[in-house]
Amino acid sequence: MIEAAPPLAELSLVLQETGLVRSLAIACGDLADGFAAPPASQRRMAAHHRAWAGVREIDRQVSALRWRRLAPAALVRKAQRAIDRADVMIGALLPV
């Protein structure tokens, strides 16, 4: 998730909108809360699920930017790749 911060921050600067960075910060907090909880606990699973859902929402927002062409394509692709990696990594923490 930390790798996603620079491209999302750059994208936010271009758009002059801080919602993406705010959403990423909340998802990072949820992820940290999950790791602070006991292994295999309901609290850990719920926190990691919230983090995953937050990253999925960011992914949808970045995809919408791509389709509406509101930011440079290269920057949107860079942010999309970083968010996709975070999505996969957090998804691996969730029970099957």
> What pLDDT, in 10s, does the model give residues 56-91?
999 999 999 888 888 999 999 999 999 999 999 999
CA distances from 81 to 2, 85, 90 (A): 13, 6, 14
Whether pLDDT at 96 is above 90: no
User: In this predicted model, what pLDDT tens digit does every residue of 29-39 receive, in sequence order?
Assistant: 999 999 999 99
- Using alpha carbons only, give the angle 28, 14, 64 rounded to the nearest 5 degrees: 70
* pTM as predicted: 0.90
* Helix segments in 1-96, DSSP class H: 5-15, 19-36, 42-68, 73-91
Residues with Cβ within 8 Å of residue 63, at least 6 apart in sequence: 80
